[in-house]
Amino acid sequence: MMEQEILYNKIFGISGKDFANAGSVSVKIKKILKEIGIKPEVVYRVSICCYEAEMNVIMYARIAKLNFTITPNEVIIIIEDEGPGIENIELAMKEGFSTATQEMREMGFGAGLGLPNIKNNSDEFKIETELLKGTKLFFKIYLN
Amino acid sequence: MQLKEIVNILECKNHTDEGLLWRDIEYCYATDMMSDVLKTCKIGSLLITGLVNQQVIQVAEIMDLKGIIFVSGKEPATEIIEKANEKNLPMLTTEKQLFEACGILYTFGLRGREIFQKADDGTGNSI
Ligand SMILES: Nc1ncnc2c1ncn2[C@@H]1O[C@H](COP(=O)(O)OP(=O)(O)OP(=O)(O)O)[C@@H](O)[C@H]1O
Ligand SMILES: [Mg+2]
């Protein structure tokens, strides 16, 4: 694969259970993309994916790093968390599957749509997980 | 339809800046699930929900929602109202329940994203 020029890169931290700041990283990313002048469709798709991934860290993991990169052709997001990992990825990717607690459901989460939403809004999507270690989510959204 | 008219129709209480009520609403969406909004809601819709918390405001910012109506007389906490004001997000409350509120707005001509409508804003997998 050819090395790509990096136009922008920033790493954000996300803490599990931090419901008070939930979504703030995604909102920051949205603002950056908008300021740079990325077209709205891409801005929305990236923000939606980031929000879903950020919420999953807050709900299920202990801590994570979100690596946000813009190249001339795409936005690349890598989110690596320390957490329980996902037992069955195929199941987790199914719409409607959720292990959200009652408390999370009362906050409006647990529809089991987050991971499918990320997959549907991205152009490339990969998920890796190791039980009791954590989960790594990788997705790309093309600029054109 | 302007938010101002919606305030009248649903007998809403307005919690944010009056000046925001001139906003024109084209589409509405109703749910209590955040991922539903991110999956199906049209960008720039008015959200009608029974879910009253900070998360709704963050999702509103992601989806550039034009406003939020909390139903069933649920009152947002002061922090939530402050946040909405900071973000210029109109926030209304009505005593009407979700079904009733949506039904009334529908009869006044407001619509959601049709299920067969292609995602023209590029989001989601609506076909
Ligand atoms: N980072 C993660 N670490 C551990 N488990 C995860 C992680 N992300 C997702 N999961 C598991 O996968 C399931 C499905 O995730 P998904 O985001 O699709 O739905 P949800 O979070 O349950 O509900 P929603 O996103 O609609 O609010 C979760 O319920 C959880 O069990
Ligand atoms: Mg989720």
Superfamily of domain A8-142: Histidine kinase-like ATPase, C-terminal domain (3.30.565.10)
Residue A95: C-alpha distances to residues A101, A116, A130 (Å):
17, 6, 22
Closest B-chain CA to A45: B123
Any residues with CB less than 8 A from the CB of B25 and at least 6 apart, and which?
B1, B2, B3, B6, B45, B46, B66, B67, B110
Residues B31-59 have a mean pLDDT of 96
Contact call for A121 and B123, based on CB within 8 A: yes
Question: Which domain range does residue B59 map to?
Answer: 3-107
- Which candidate, B20, B50, B21, B47, places its Cα nearest to that of B105? B47
Per-10-residue mean pLDDT of chain A, 144 residues long, equals 85 96 96 97 97 98 98 97 98 98 97 97 98 98 96
pLDDT of residue B126 exceeding 50: no
pTM of the predicted model as reported, rounded to 2 decimal places: 0.95
Question: Is residue B119 situated within a structural domain?
Answer: no
The question of ipTM being above 0.90 is answered as yes
pLDDT score for A2: 62
Give B37 Cα–ligand 2 centroid separation in angstroms: 13
A98 lines ligand 1 (CB under 6 A): yes
Question: Is residue B25 situated within a structural domain?
Answer: yes
Q: A23 in contact with B at a CB cutoff of 8 Å?
A: yes
pLDDT of residue B9 exceeding 70: yes
List chain A domain ranges.
8-142
Tell me, what CATH number does B77's domain have?
3.40.1390.20
CA–CA separation, B25 and B20 (whole Å): 11
Residues B22-44 have a mean pLDDT of 96
pLDDT tens digits for range B58-108: 999 999 999 999 999 999 999 999 999 999 999 999 999 999 999 999 999
Question: Is residue B33 situated within a structural domain?
Answer: yes
- Which candidate, A70, A71, A72, A60, places its Cα nearest to that of A137? A60
Which DSSP helix (H) or strand (E) runs through A113?
A: none
Domain count, chain B: 1
pLDDT score for B115: 59
Q: B122 in contact with A at a CB cutoff of 8 Å?
A: yes
Across the interface, which of A44, A45, A109 has its CB nearest the CB of B34?
A109
